[in-house]
Amino acid sequence: MKILIADPIAPAGVAFLKSQPDYEVVEAYGSMPEQILKLVTDVHAIAVRSETRISAEVLAAARLLKVVGRAGVGVDNIDIDAATERGVIVMNTPGGNTLATAELTFTHILCGFRPIVQACAGMREGRWDRKSYSGSELNGKRLAILGMGRIGAEVAKRAQAFGMRVMAYDPYLTEARADALGVEMVELAEAISSAEVISVHMPLTDATRHMLNADAFARMKDGVRVFNCARGGIIDETALADALKSGKVAAAGLDVYEEEPLAAGSPLRSLSNLVLTPHLGASTTEAQESVGLEIAEQIADVLNGGMVRNAINMPSVDTKSLKQLQPYLVLGERLGSFLQQLAPEYVEQLRIRYYGKIVDLDALPLTRAIQRGYLKLISEHVNDVNAPKKLAALGIEVEVVKSSSHAEYTELVEAQVVCRGGKTRTIGGTLFGKNQVPRIVTIDDNGVEVNPRGTLLVLKNKNVPGIVGFIGTTLGDDNVNIANMSLSLDRGQGFAVSVFELDSAPSEAASNKITSHPAIEKFRIIQL
């Protein structure tokens, strides 16, 4: 397999990939976009940092591509939607540079309170301006952290060590997590209006772009200090420059910018109360070594069919959980495929329900397996990455429920489609025995026991004598062997549902003969 390293990563990471058997590693640092397009035509993986852009055009050219690994946190240079559409896993290394970025952030905060940078410049120019460089203390100041992820949490720890009072705005922060970190949960409006220090630690999205704009600065306290070592574009740079000039913002520090590199003529460069660094968040020896080796190991895991970690566009599962889930994933994919072939037309909704002990596991990978199985025969190049998007493109809504209600089995996975007009078809499956063998145990309201593999013939017929014999004779005349069968009477309606496990598919003539029998209501050949 071929791996393209488009941007420099730690030598340890490159060496790790080169040490893997059957890997061809191509180092193409500093390549122009047109060169990248030529290089990716036969690669299975690409490793990047922030320099090389993995656009939709690059992804379309990379026909064999399975994974893009970003040695770092931000994935702004990767077209996530295009990658997802093509089933390409996008991964990053969110933990590798956490401490480096947190420490740089706090360095900026310290420089915002004590004008070290400006005083150093004055000393180099021969001045001794002690009075000009008076600062303030961090102790007792209210710090608002916007985004309480890994980095935000580390900044909070350092701020608390300096005696700062820490507030946190994060839509996904729980009270339990806030209590554990010792921070006060606040809404964005309160964070902006009541803080004396604001530090940004959120991703750049449509919702966060220019979150700190002219209106936000107007609502801040006079003399506030603002810092951003997360993503350029969250702060409106024009509005920040105006606030720094007016004194509304006493000091600020930026490590990231709306356009990088920062233009030589940018007005930000001339502001004496603004400290600028050229995107140094992860620029420590330890962080670069960590993220370089980490992304190399993650890429190798994917290419070797192992665990997926730190994926942006699909579930990531730890090794222990993956081992527990593996038998369910096989069951889930077959349930999805069975259900689609059972009810192939006019489906508007896919409902997935989990019962019993399985509700305690991370069911997201299992949900993806069911979705993948459902799409297996009706869409090309389906995998865990693009299955949800492909279902959405078909107009099929997906609903997932974990139920604590009683089921007949210790664990039960149930998949149901809702067709146009409200009609439903439902199947359920579980694992049998110590070997956790997958079995289909319900079709609609009928109990069965079916091995979900190979060729299955599913019938619904009037409960009259001779049907089983008719099927056996017809298939026998067609030289098709019945390996097993399961039969269930439809409750009180005079119908029977039966599933025949076949060694091969019946011919068209045999299928026509079966469907023409007056007692047979429904007939499906299902291939798993």
37-44, long-range: CB within 8 Å, 24+ apart, which pairs? 37/61, 39/4, 39/6, 40/4, 40/65, 42/2, 43/2, 43/3, 43/4, 44/1, 44/2, 44/3, 44/303
Look at residue 346 and tell me if it is in a domain.
Answer: yes
> Do 139 and 238 belong to one domain?
yes
Query: Scanning the structure block, which residue is given the tokens 């330890």?
Result: 286
Q: Can you tell me the distance from the alpha carbon of 191 to that of 195, in angstroms, rounded to the nearest whole number?
A: 6
On whether both 356 and 478 belong to a single domain, the answer is no
In this structure, the answer to whether residues 448 and 325 fall within a common structural domain is: yes
Residue 247 identity: G
Q: Is residue 215 part of a domain?
A: yes
Place of tokens 């040695």: 71
pLDDT computed for residue 357 by the predictor: 83
Domain end (from 405, 420, 452): 452
Contact 428, 442 (CB under 8 A): yes
Q: Is 308 domain-assigned?
A: no
Domain identity same for 143 and 247: yes
Residues 383 and 470 in one domain: no
Is residue 114, in this structure, part of any structural domain at all? yes
Residues 106 and 81 both lie in one domain:
no
Contact at 8 Å (CB) between 248 and 212?
no
What pLDDT shows up at residue 319?
Answer: 63
The verdict on residue 325 lying in a domain is yes
What is the pLDDT, as a whole number, of residue 198? 98
- 397 close to 350: Cβ distance less than 8 angstroms: yes
- At residue 449, φ and ψ (nearest 5 deg) are -140, 105
Q: Which domain holds residue 397?
A: 316-452
Q: Are residues 106 and 92 in the same domain?
A: no
CATH number at residue 352: 3.30.1330.90
Structure confidence at residue 476 (pLDDT): 96
The pLDDT, as a whole number, for residue 361 is 82
Residue 414 lies in a domain: yes
Specify if 282 maps to a domain: no
The answer to whether the CB of 293 falls within 8 A of the CB of 299 is no
363 falls within a domain = yes
Residue 119 and residue 227 in one domain: yes
Q: What is the pTM of this model?
A: 0.64
Catalytic residues: 231, 260, 279
Q: What is the CATH number of the domain that holds 58?
A: 3.40.50.720
- Number of domains into which the chain is organized: 4
Is the same domain home to 82 and 110?
no
pLDDT for the residue numbered 372: 93
Q: Mind listing the pLDDT tens digit of every residue in the chain (528 residues)?
A: 999 999 999 999 999 999 999 999 999 999 999 999 999 999 999 999 989 999 999 999 999 999 999 998 778 899 999 999 899 999 999 888 899 999 999 999 999 999 999 999 999 999 999 988 999 999 999 999 999 988 999 999 999 999 999 999 999 888 989 999 999 999 999 999 999 999 999 988 889 999 999 999 999 999 999 999 999 999 999 999 999 999 999 999 999 999 999 999 999 999 999 999 999 998 899 998 999 999 999 999 999 987 788 888 887 766 667 777 888 999 999 999 999 999 988 999 999 999 988 888 888 889 999 999 999 999 877 888 889 989 998 999 999 999 877 678 889 999 999 998 899 999 999 999 888 999 999 999 899 999 999 999 999 999 899 999 999 999 999 999 999 999 998 766 789 999 999 999 999 999 999 999 999 999 999 999
Residues in Cβ contact with 381 at an 8 Å cutoff, skipping those fewer than 6 apart: 86, 87
In this prediction, residue 170 carries a pLDDT of 94
Same domain, 108 and 235: yes
CB 8 within 8 A of CB 49: yes
